[in-house]
Structure 1
């Protein structure tokens, strides 16, 4: 019984192996036949299908597509992503006869894959064509601008953005129609000069800075003069008011002094003259003066011969106010009191 089972298993095994091998072979054959007919379009790319070298259709949307196997149909993949091309340094002449060397960058992508393959076919080939177009546009446009449009310390004179926009307009349409590419941006990334132009550029920048400095100094001097003039006017007004006030105060004081002198003179003219003479003597000699005179000089009569003491009123009836108080000397000590006067 066991031998019969083993014989049946041995017969079934080769049959199953044959079926697997046949299925695997058929699958490989199908893959080999179907793979050349499969086209995968990735994101950011496009595929141009050609039949015997003649373009038939463009596949722009990402996904899987079918085509006839090679050599009947072929698929050319085109990169639709943005590319940046830096042009080499090219010399150009400005309107003021200055020779400048410019380096620009160009941002572009493929807009028409079929036209791109027919006209250029590769990124290297289309970069050379872009270089020629941009160089021609630079030579044309820079002839209408002075050097100050590229290099200047005055922001109002710089025209870099306008020049870049004009360069883009000059090459954008031709690049789209001739090569199937869309130029998105053109910019100037570096400016160089010949050795003969470096001194001219530096002199121009120095002159612009000096002009700006002179303008700032003029504005500052104008504001300073206005401030000084206003201060002078205000100081004159303050001094005028002060002089008027001082005049009024001085007039009032002189009036009061005159009234006091008049009252003193009316009360005792002899004593008034004596006191005024002493004041004049004090002002003449000062505090540290030394003078030697004879006692019979007229100037010293006040010390040797003072005026007599008035006898109009008794000491008890004299006024006690500060305004009406007068000096009194005892009758018996007139000579001694006069000798003690300064």
Structure 2
């Protein structure tokens, strides 16, 4: 074998080694993008989860392999289903749920991909909704009292139960399960409307009774205040009247003491005003003391 042949074979093996090493180096690199998680499996069994974006290394295939999964929230719309309530009413509900992968290893070992996960989640969700709906009466879903288990409260409870079960069985976290659309048969609508009407009437009577009670209290308090104010005003008026009459009596007494004749004259004038009014005709002797002021000349003091 010539030197040229040996050199050619050597270069060939070097090239093969470089290519092999390059392939192994490339195969050992793992790129994790934002919104992704990477699961490293060793001989087919998941052993490690990478949930931060960036570059990492693994052992070459077939020793270790990598599976990328989407870690973002997913929305799953469910087909409408008809459910029976505790009072044997039919209710048609179309639901949707929001989910994301909570345990990547359990997710891969139990479902493996998004299509299977959607099918399993839909089955679990429909089962949980059916169990919950069958435990309540239809009118209470649209009730207005604290005791009623309304649609909102019921689906919050269903979400918690579904989340716990899906985490345990599928490695999936359910953040939201809500009713997107509800349909009712005519008889169910009639029951709802009757219940709502009776509840509104009950509230109306309650509010009217509370208003009447409040108004009666206000009227009673107002009457009490009015009576109190009137009593105080009457008392003060009587005090003022008494003081005024006392002052008037004192003034009259003082005036009488200072000018007895004028006081007598004024009293006579007042008597004339009362007796000789409205064209009254009296036949009386003129020597009565009452007419002294009319027929006798006033005395002039010297």
Same fold per TM (> 0.5)? Answer: yes
2:119 aligned with 1:128: yes
Gaps of 5+ in 2: 1-7
d(CA) in 1 for partners of 2:285, 2:226: 52
Secondary structure at 2:61 match in 1: coil
**Change beyond 3 A, Cα 1:150–1:299:** farther
Larger RCO, structures 1/2 (Cα 8 Å, 6+ apart): 2
Q: CA deviation at 1:155?
A: 5.8
For 1:242-261, list aligned pairs within 5 A: 242-251=233-242, 256=248, 260=252
How many residues end up aligned between the 2 structures? Answer: 276
1:176-200 CA-to-partner distances (Å, cap 9, x unmatched) read 4543x23242432435231423344
Secondary structure at 1:315 match in 2: coil
d(CA) in 2 for partners of 1:300, 1:85: 122
Task: From 188, 199, 210, give the equivalent of 2:178.
Answer: 188
d(CA) in 2 for partners of 1:129, 1:208: 41
Secondary structure at 1:167 match in 2: helix
1:226-272 CA-to-partner distances (Å, cap 9, x unmatched) read 222222122222222333343444456566469949959x8599856
**Change beyond 3 A, Cα 1:117–1:232:** closer
d(CA) in 1 for partners of 2:139, 2:283: 93
Q: CA deviation at 1:116?
A: 3.5
**Does the Cα contact within 8 Å between 1:101 and 1:193 map onto a contact in 2?**
yes
d(CA) in 2 for partners of 1:244, 1:167: 73
Larger Rg: 1
1:276 aligns with 270
2:76 aligns with 85
Task: From 77, 97, 106, give the equivalent of 1:105.
Answer: 97
**Change beyond 3 A, Cα 1:184–1:171:** closer
Gaps of 5+ in 1: 1-17, 286-290, 317-342
**Does the Cα contact within 8 Å between 2:87 and 2:138 map onto a contact in 1?**
yes
1:198 aligns with 189
1:47 aligns with 39
2:47 aligns with 58
**Does the Cα contact within 8 Å between 2:40 and 2:64 map onto a contact in 1?**
no
1:39-67 CA-to-partner distances (Å, cap 9, x unmatched) read 5151532235475xxx2443413612122
d(CA) in 1 for partners of 2:165, 2:226: 75
Aligned CA RMSD, in angstroms, stands at 4.4
TM-score by length of 1: 0.61
